[in-house]
Every structure is written in structure tokens, then in C-alpha cells.
Structure 1
Amino acid sequence: MIVFSGTDDRLIPVGVITQAAAALGYEVNIFITGWALMKVLRKPTQPTWPKEFEQMVPALQQGMARIKAPSWVEMVKQGKQLGSVKVYACSMMAEAMGLKKEDFDPSIVDDVVGVTTFLETAKGGQILFI
């Protein structure tokens, strides 16, 4: 999975897909780049939503709380606990944003790598771009 967007409407599916795929025994490799890098820092940015969804956010948050759905980050962490999920931060975007490996949450990000390393890791697999 290549994750570029830093908005929570796109990050929630990252968590859901990761957790489900890991539960089914699939190997999951996630390459975090672009604005999504800001969501896997030791101190991540606050949730953000596209303007067109802002009015629906309170109802979604209440519904997620009602069904006791974990956050997208917790879903990724649960997938990692199954041992088949690896998360990589994009080295080029990290450098452009002035971020170093120690800036990323080590419970989420396994390593900082370039896109060629990620593509070699993902070779032969299905790639989703979110």
C-alpha cells in the first residue's frame, strides 16, 4: 500500500484494510509518503478532513465510538502484532520535510526507505494507492 493522503477519511481505510489483510495472513507493506508522513510522527498532527466531509465528521466519530472501532493507527498496530505488517516512511519526502527516523513513532514505522527499496519489497504483490 502506498499512502500519500494525510486526511483521516483516507487513513481509516488504511487501518481497516491493513488489519483485515493481516488477520487473513497476508503480508502487508505500507509506504507512507507525502502528507501522510505527518500522521506517523511521535507527535502526529491532529485529525484532518476534507472540507466536503466536515459536516459529517461528528456523526462518523460518534458512530465509531458507539461501535468501539479502534483508530486507524491502532488497527495498523494490531496488524503489526500479527507479524505480517511492515510500515516504511519515504526517505525523500522525510528529508524534504526535515524529518529523521527518530521523528517517527517506532511503534508504527519500521524503517525509512526510498521508493525503489519499497517497490522491490512489494514486487509481485498488489499495490493500492491511497
Structure 2
Amino acid sequence: MTDKATLIVHSGDMDKIYSAFIIGNGALSMGMDVSMYFTFWGLERLKKGELEEGNLSRKNLMGLGKWMIKRKMDSANVASLEELMQDFVELGGKILACDMTMEIMGLEKEDLRDEVISEYCAVGTYIKEAKESDITLFI
């Protein structure tokens, strides 16, 4: 039986999205099955052109904090969110989009990056994934 990790990606903050993909890719590289359930503000990052749009969760300083962190990440050769997401999908990670959040926020499938989404689903799918998981995280 393969180890499994399930992450709820609730926040759309840039640093938290980075954390989710870094943890997800780390778990995949260790041979785990990984699914990420994107809901509420996290789901906003799956909108076309919105992956990199989130602010920092702290010390955003009207965008200056994000700019400074991105410069430091660039100089440290940290992969972009786009690269991390593509790696996650290519390594077999599953991205689940909460259809209830889509309805609440007025989102259609056409608004989202369908090419990276494994499934549009309800909370029951997340519960099933989490129940089968060794690790569950709320980000």
C-alpha cells in the first residue's frame, strides 16, 4: 500500500501556495500519492492567469514585501509557482477543485486552468481522500 498525503489549499496567499506545492512535490518525490483540494481563496489561484497573484500572508507592505521575497527567491533559484505546479501534475499529483466554492464565487470551468485540474468535486471526495491518507494538512 502506497503512503498518501492530502492537502486542503484554502488560502490564496503566495507563500502558502508555495508551501502547498513544495510539500506536495516533496511527498510525490518520496513515492507518496498526493492530492490537493483547492477551496475558497486557494481556488482563486487556479483561475487562468491568477497563480502568481496572491499576496504574502504577512508583511505584504502594499506589495513591497512580495516583491522583496520574489527577488530573494529568484536569486536563490527557487522554482516559480508555475514550475512547481507543472512538476506536481507531471509527477502524478492530483488537483481537486471544490465545485461548491465554484458556485459560491461564480466560477465556471472555463475560468479555471482545466489542464491541471484532475477532478471537480464536492467535500465528500476530499473526505474520502483524507480518510485514506497518512498525512492531511490544511494550508
Note whether the superposition's TM-score is higher than 0.5: yes
* Whole-angstrom distance in 2 between the partners of 1:51 and 1:81: 31
1:10 is matched by which residue type in structure 2?
K
1:81 corresponds to which of 62, 87, 90: 90
For structure 1, the residue ranges without an aligned partner over 5 or more in a row are none
Percent of paired sites with the same residue: 27
Q: 1:95: which partner in 2? A: 103
* Whole-angstrom distance in 2 between the partners of 1:15 and 1:103: 21
1:52 corresponds to which of 41, 49, 59: 59
Task: Spell out, residue by residue over 1:45-81, the C-alpha distance to the aligned partner (whole angstroms, 9 max, x if none).
Answer: 6232235343543332111111221123421220221
Give the superposed CA RMSD. Answer: 1.8
Report if the CA contact (8 A) 1:23-1:79 is conserved: no
Q: 1:41: which partner in 2? A: 47
TM-score, normalised with respect to structure 1: 0.88
Q: 1:118: which partner in 2? A: 126
Report if the CA contact (8 A) 1:88-1:111 is conserved: yes
Please show how residues 9-28 of structure 1 align to structure 2 within 5 Å: 9-28=15-34
Q: Which has the higher strand share?
A: 2
For structure 2, the residue ranges without an aligned partner over 5 or more in a row are 1-6
Q: What secondary structure does 2:97 align onto?
A: strand
1:52 is matched by which residue type in structure 2?
K
Q: How many pairs does the alignment contain?
A: 129
Q: What secondary structure does 2:31 align onto?
A: coil
Moved more, 112-121 or 37-46: 37-46
Task: Spell out, residue by residue over 1:10-32, the C-alpha distance to the aligned partner (whole angstroms, 9 max, x if none).
Answer: 11101110111111111101000
* Whole-angstrom distance in 2 between the partners of 1:50 and 1:82: 28
Q: 1:72: which partner in 2? A: 81
Q: 2:4: which partner in 1? A: none
Q: What secondary structure does 1:68 align onto?
A: coil
Change (3 A) 1:98 1:68: same
